[in-house]
Structure 1
Amino acid sequence: MSTVNLISTLSCPYCGHRKTETMPTDACQWFYECEQCHEVLRPQPGDCCVFCSYGSVPCPPIQAGNGSHCGSR
């Protein structure tokens, strides 16, 4: 079994700003405000959270193979 990485670098598609964040393990993160341009990022169609859309590492449930998205039951 592989280890789940909780650190991901989010890249803003509007201004290119990058910020390393710790991903939550108990909830999806559907919104993220870029600290540089203040645009609110939302998941792209088909993605479950901002980390899957804009992060360097997908969210913990995707990494662990627990369903097709972080909201899977």
Structure 2
Amino acid sequence: MADPILISRLRCPECGHEKDEEMPTNACMFFYNCSACGVRLQPLQGDCCVFCSYGTVPCPPIQEGDCCNG
């Protein structure tokens, strides 16, 4: 199995700001504060983390097929 991708670009749905962030490899990230507008992002219904909802790459647990939510 290939190593998971660890960088995802998060896009704030409120202001459109984008930022590359390193994802944790052993957990899902439930909250993220936008560094531009300060809004607190939470996963959309059905997603396990903010990277799966707002990122360009799903979180490492999802990439490895072993999500904390599934």
Q: Do both proteins adopt the same fold according to a TM-score greater than 0.5, normalized to the shorter chain?
A: yes
- Name the SS for the 1:51 alignment partner: helix
Q: CA deviation at 1:30?
A: 0.4
Runs (4+) of structure 1 exceeding 4 A deviation are: none
Q: Deviations over 1:25-72 (max 9, x none)?
A: 122110000000100000000000000000000000111122xxx315
The unaligned stretches of length 5 or more in structure 2 are none
- Whole-angstrom CA distance in 2 between matches of 1:46 and 1:15: 23
Matched residue, 1:53: 53
The unaligned stretches of length 5 or more in structure 1 are none
Work out the number of aligned pairs and report it: 70
- Name the SS for the 1:19 alignment partner: strand
Matched residue, 1:62: 62
- Whole-angstrom CA distance in 2 between matches of 1:26 and 1:3: 13
Contact persistence 2:28–2:49 (CA under 8 A): yes
Equivalent position amino acid for 1:71 in 2: C
Matched residue, 1:71: 68
- Whole-angstrom CA distance in 2 between matches of 1:72 and 1:52: 12
